Chains A and B, each alone.
Chain A
Amino acid sequence: MLEALLLMLGLGGVCGTLLGIASKVFYVWEDPRIAEVENCMAGANCGGCGFTGCGACAAAIVEGRAPVSACVVGGATSAEKAAAIMGMEAGAAEALTSENTCTGGVRASEKYYYMGVKDCRAATLLYAGAKECAVGCLGFGSCVKACLFGAIELGPEGTPVVDVEKCVGCGACENACPKGIMQVQTPSQRILHVNEVIDRLAPCRQTCPAEINIPKYIHHIKNKEYDKAYLTIMERNPMPLSTGRVCPHPCEDACRRALGDEPVSINQLKRFCSDWVFNEGAQVKIPVAPDTGYRVAIVGGGPSGLSAAFYLRRLGHKVKIFEWLPKLGGMIYYGIPEYRLPKAILYKDIQRILDLGGIEVMTGVKFGVDFDLESLVGGGFDAVIMTIGAMNHASARIPDEDKVKGVVPATTFLRKQGLGDPYPIGKRVGVIGGGNVAMDCLRSSVRLGAEKVYCLYRREVKDMPANKVEIEACHHEGIEFITLCTPTKFVIDDEGNLTGIEYLKNELGEPDASGRQKPVPIKGSETVLPLDNFILAIGQTTDSAFADQEKGSVTRIETKKGSIVVNLDTHQSDIPYVFSSGDSAGPPGLLVAAIGGGRRAARGIHKYLMGEEMAFPETRLRVDSRRMTGHIPGTIFDSIEGIEKKGRIGQPELEPGSYERNHTYAEVDLTVTEEDALKEADRCMRCCLTCYNDDLVR
């Protein structure tokens, strides 16, 4: 027994001494905070944080590679202690800034005359405050008094104005405000926010598929702060130069000013301030969150993929874009012709995204051929987003449409043009379809030298889904519209070349599901239109052939009519780490919708990677920007008072009939002048939920 005790004592002593000496002899300096931070943690070495043990996690926190809340077992207590050691507030490696989200103030109408204590919290006690608007600023400046740094003052409009230079993001104003108007957030939190019914949103901002803060950026333009306007847009849309040119602007359809005047030219203002930033070479600093250590693969470098890349990168993830075609941009590079969106302009937008750093790009590789999900997972990617667009064409159901020489799908026609190898066309060209893609084909054909260009459409011009300006431009360029017709047969010569198309005339019948009258072909009304080429532009589908392959796990991505099936809120597919957005996640839509989808998919991925709740809050605002439904109740008016009819600024364009207009790819629509932009910005009423600036106030 004694020997055993002595041996254990001796062993303990010797080991202890040896280790003590060794730790002196082999001493390596490391940041003392690492040991301190490690002491705050659970010490379970569980690996739940994603690092190999508590030591590595502590080192990552000290080096800024992980948030102080990284230890999942330690939870909030551990995060607070670690934050104290690191000298910052928990969860805030990025700059927190306070923002006033109400533009009401003195202009907002009141329910009663309040004579009590001049304090917002006191005023709230009486019927939630005197303002008609339940979520509006009461204007007594409780936030001003709460700010210890003198960063807030009440502006001339009766709402608080934050001096961003002085704000430290302490959150005192947010706590003091009884209406939740002051919001202290990091750029990441702002990116992750989606429109909610409890937010203070103007009708235009509710309608925009990308949820851009439109009144805010127009207000910046009005103050000639064009760079700030640009940065405001970049919080929701990383491609303002491109959207500023091609967006059909559903926001303008919701503009409240349209009730007593013409709507504000929101999109032209977006284009103006973005062009100004690039033309003047203004320095803009786009904040990026600290690295999270996660890597996301983006399959498809189109607008939705680029938008997802931009926001994922800003949220701190490393991304790599895999693109099938030689250039990034997807359908807006290969689909939209040069005269509408010059490639050089598009590339300025794309370069701004890539300039964030941490975004790798690989072109010329196709999903399902050169790589697949397994190789991405094996390559160390933590999530994958499929933004593969809709590059296949839908069938027009005309016999032999794949065989007849001279018949070409719009996607192929436009892609070849984008690749710099235009599809050879004859003198007479017909295009079937009434969407923007059809308009692009029509107007490109004019520029490729066609003498007679026809647009065939089964309903009437007023039913066409294309932008009105595009239809108008087609008229200016001498394109002939043959409406109410259904092509039935190709007329070919002996060698199988197209010589014409036979079509039936339609009459309008009963309204269908979309509320439009259904076209019905009239028997015996066959007419032949001589044509050299026929372009099919009646819709696109996603090339999801990879999902039908027998081998490999990629068969498991569920598709429906070619599109990838995802939860439309989180953009997550059946496979938890696979996401999809843009055209490949649903019926093809607008560029601005693809961009908004990219941001929401980035949000879904971020929440998934960080283990946070992915679903949208129940108060999520769901607006259908096509049918104009789903707005916050009471925000869409029937009539409006106090508005003078001033008229909107026109769209400057190349002279119709000029050589540049008809024979070159020079950009047709031009940017408005600064003078016009300021005039237009002044027409914006800076609406919020219910109040707005009428023309008498200003």
Chain B
Amino acid sequence: MGDYILLAIGAILVNNILLIQYLGNCPFLGTSKKMDTAVGMAMAVVFVLAMAGIVTWIFEAVFLKPLGLEYIRTIVFIVVIAALVQFVEIFLKKNIPALYAGLGIFLPLITTNCAVMGVCLINIKEEYNFLEMFVSSLAYPAGFGLALILFAGLRERIIIGRVPAPMQDVAIALVTAGFMSLSFLGFKGMI
């Protein structure tokens, strides 16, 4: 049990996918202007990653490993994740329109989000068993959501401030992201 908790804390804070591993930076900057959008994005990432993690892990175990085809893993995962997300989108639109409206554009947007791809590959690289993989597939996007929501909070405050013209918008956002990243480095000694 302790291992799983450690794995979760490691994935959320110590190896935060956004601020330590620098994956998924496009939605980090693109959807952090408003808190509502950031929360929507975070939910969508958790949702997609949990499913993508499971499907890719099974695919690895059933096809790639027995056939010795690990070298085309990246391509295969891209196709699998893209198809999965498209399917989920079509399914939600018909059957759970409320969730579809809530996740909105974020579902297709993260089809090829590097954070999603990255976590699926980490799951394989670290040779996680199914349960470990599942915890990691939930914890990494939780870390993504945490960083994104914190960042959105900061940006909502920054927009009120008087920022010099050349530093406005994305420029100040990148500086802020840098500082957040530095502060997250402080978690390095935790485990």
B67 touches A3 (CB 8 A): yes
Cα separation A230 to B8 with both chains bound (whole Å):
69
Contact of B91 with A by CB under 8 A: yes
Query: Is B80 a contact of A26 with CB atoms below 8 Å?
Result: no
**Separation of A11 and B73 alpha carbons in the complex (Å):** 12
A574 on the B face (CB < 8 A): yes
CB interface residues, B 83-119, toward A, < 8 Å: 83, 86-87, 90-91, 93-95, 104-106, 108-109
Among the 9-residue stretches B124-132, B158-166, B173-181, B182-190, the one with 4 or more Cβ atoms under 8 Å from chain A is: B158-166
Contact: A19 with B83, CB < 8 Å? yes
Interface of chain A residues 593 through 650 with chain B (CB within 8 A): none
Q: Given the interface contacts A45-B109, A553-B160, does A26 sit within 8 Å of B76 by beta carbon?
A: no
A52 close to B162 (CB less than 8 A): no
Q: Are A374 and B160 in contact (CB under 8 A)?
A: yes
A-B contact count (CB 8 A): 79
Contact A23 B90 (CB under 8 A): yes
Let me know if A193 is at the binding interface, CB within 8 A. no
Q: How far is the CA of A8 from the CA of B69 in the complex (A)?
A: 11
Determine if B79 is an interface residue (Cβ-Cβ < 8 Å).
yes
What is the bound-complex CA distance between A55 and B93, given in angstroms? 13
B75 at the interface (CB under 8 A from A): yes
Q: How many Å lie between the Cα of A3 and that of B70 in the bound state?
A: 12
Cross-chain contact A55 with B91 (CB below 8 angstroms): no
Cβ of A87 within 8 Å of any chain B Cβ, yes or no, is no
User: Is A19 a contact of B90 with CB atoms below 8 Å?
Assistant: yes
Q: Does A656 contact B (CB under 8 A)?
A: no
Q: Is the Cβ of A11 less than 8 Å from the Cβ of B109?
A: no
**Quick check: A7 and B79 within 8 Å, CB to CB?**
no
Contact check, B105 vs A56: say whether CB atoms are below 8 A apart. yes
B94 touches A26 (CB 8 A): yes
Distance to closest chain B CB from A608 (angstroms):
13
Q: How does the 8 Å CB contact mask read for A12-55 relative to B, with 1 for contact and 0 for none?
A: 10010011001101111000000000000000011100001101
A522 within 8 A of B: no
B64 closest partner in A (C-beta): A7
Q: Across the interface, which residues of B come within 8 angstroms of A374, CB to CB?
A: 157, 160
Contact with A along B56-88 (1 / 0, CB 8 A): 000000010001110110011001101100110
B76 touches A575 (CB 8 A): no
Across-interface contacts of B76 in A (CB, < 8 A): 7-8, 11
Count contacts on B: residues with CB < 8 A to the other chain: 36
Judged by a CB distance under 8 angstroms, whether A568 is at the interface is: no
Q: Does A116 belong to the interface (CB within 8 Å)?
A: no
B37 within 8 A of A: yes
SS of A interface (majority): helix
Whether A364 sits at the interface, judged by CB under 8 Å, is no
Q: Assuming the A-B contacts A11-B80, A18-B83, are A28 and B93 also in contact, with contact meaning beta carbons closer than 8 angstroms in the complex?
A: yes
A295 CB to closest chain B CB (Å) equals: 12
Contact A3 B69 (CB under 8 A): yes
Asked if B72 contacts A4 (CB within 8 A), the reply is yes
Task: Report B-chain residues with C-beta under 8 Å of the C-beta of A111.
Answer: none
Instruction: Verify A556–B87 contact, CB threshold 8 A.
Output: no
Determine the chain B residues whose CB is within 8 A of the CB of A378 once the complex forms.
Answer: 35, 156
Q: Is the CB of A373 within 8 A of B109?
A: no
Q: How far is the CB of A163 from chain B (nearest CB, A)?
A: 46
Q: Give A63 Cβ to nearest chain B Cβ, in Å.
A: 14
The answer to whether the Cβ of A88 comes within 8 Å of any Cβ in the partner chain is: no
Q: Does A95 contact B (CB under 8 A)?
A: no
Chain A's closest residue to B106 (CB) is A52
Q: In the complex the two chains form, what is the Cα distance from A340 to B154 in whole Å?
A: 51
Pair B67/A7 contact, Cβ less than 8 Å: yes
CB-CB under 8 A from A373, the residues of chain B are 160
Tell me the complex Cα distance, A19–B31, Å. Answer: 28
Find out whether the CB atom of A4 lies under 8 angstroms from the CB atom of B91: no
List of B residues within 8 angstroms of A52 by Cβ? 37, 40, 104-106
Name A30's closest neighbour in chain B (CB-CB). Answer: B93
Q: A53-B105, A56-B104 are in contact. Are A26 and B160 (CB under 8 A)?
A: no
In the assembled complex, the Cα of A157 lies from the Cα of B51 at a distance in Å of: 76
Complex partner residue of A53 from B90, B109, B157, B160, CB under 8 angstroms = B109
Which residues from A are CB-within-8-Å of B30?
A: 46-47
Q: Which residues of the partner chain A approach B91 to less than 8 Å between Cβ atoms?
A: 22, 26
The CA-CA distance from A47 to B75 in the complex, in Å, is 28
**Contact A18:B87 (CB < 8 A) given known A52-B104, A574-B162:** yes
CB under 8 Å from chain A, chain B span 1-47:
30-31, 35-37, 40
CB distance from B145 to the nearest CB of A (A): 17
A28 to B106, CA, bound (A): 19
What separation, in Å, do the CA atoms of A374 and B161 have in the docked complex? Answer: 10
Given contacts A28-B93, A373-B160, A556-B161, contact A19 B105 (CB under 8 A): no
Smallest CB-CB separation from B105: which chain A residue?
A: A53
Provide the bound-state CA to CA distance between A573 and B40, in Å.
32
Cα distance A55–B100 in the bound complex, in angstroms:
13
Residues of A with C-beta under 8 A to B82: 15
Q: What separation, in Å, do the CA atoms of A25 and B83 have in the docked complex?
A: 16
- Contact A26:B83 (CB < 8 A) given known A11-B76, A47-B30: no
A11 to B40 CA separation, bound complex (whole angstroms) = 31
B167 to chain A, nearest CB (A): 13
B161 engages A26 (CB within 8 Å):
no
Q: Which of B83, B105, B160 is within 8 Å of A15, CB to CB?
A: B83
Per the bound structure, the CA–CA distance linking A53 and B101 in Å amounts to: 13
CB neighbours (8 Å) of B87 from chain A are: 18-19, 22
A377 at the interface (CB under 8 A from B): yes
Cα(A28)–Cα(B92), bound, Å: 11
Contact of A7 among B31, B63, B90, B94 (CB under 8 A): B63
Contact indicator per residue, chain A 269-300, by CB within 8 Å of chain B (1) or not (0): 00000000000000000000000000000000
Residue pair A26, B95 in contact (C-beta under 8 Å):
yes
Contact string against A for B residues 129-159, beta-carbon threshold 8 Å, 1 for contact and 0 otherwise = 0000000000000000000000000001101
* Contacting residues, chain A, for B71 (C-beta < 8 A): 4
The answer to whether A28 and B79 touch across the interface, beta carbons within 8 angstroms, is: no
**List of B residues within 8 angstroms of A574 by Cβ:** 162
**B93 close to A26 (CB less than 8 A):** yes
Are the C-beta atoms of B156 and A26 separated by less than 8 Å? no
Q: Give 6 new A-B contacts, CB below 8 A, not counting A25-B94, A53-B108.
A: A4-B69, A8-B72, A45-B109, A53-B104, A53-B105, A575-B162
17 interchain pairs, CB-CB under 8 A: A4-B72, A7-B72, A11-B80, A15-B83, A18-B87, A45-B108, A52-B106, A53-B108, A373-B160, A377-B156, A377-B159, A377-B160, A380-B36, A553-B160, A553-B161, A574-B162, A577-B159
Closest 7 CB pairs of A and B: A53-B105, A26-B94, A15-B83, A52-B105, A553-B160, A26-B90, A22-B90
B-to-A contact residues, CB < 8 Å: 30-31, 35-37, 40, 63, 67-69, 71-72, 75-76, 79-80, 82-83, 86-87, 90-91, 93-95, 104-106, 108-109, 156-157, 159-162
**A residues in contact (CB < 8 Å) with B:** 3-4, 7-8, 11-12, 15, 18-19, 22-23, 25-28, 45-47, 52-53, 55-56, 373-374, 377-378, 380, 553, 556, 574-575, 577
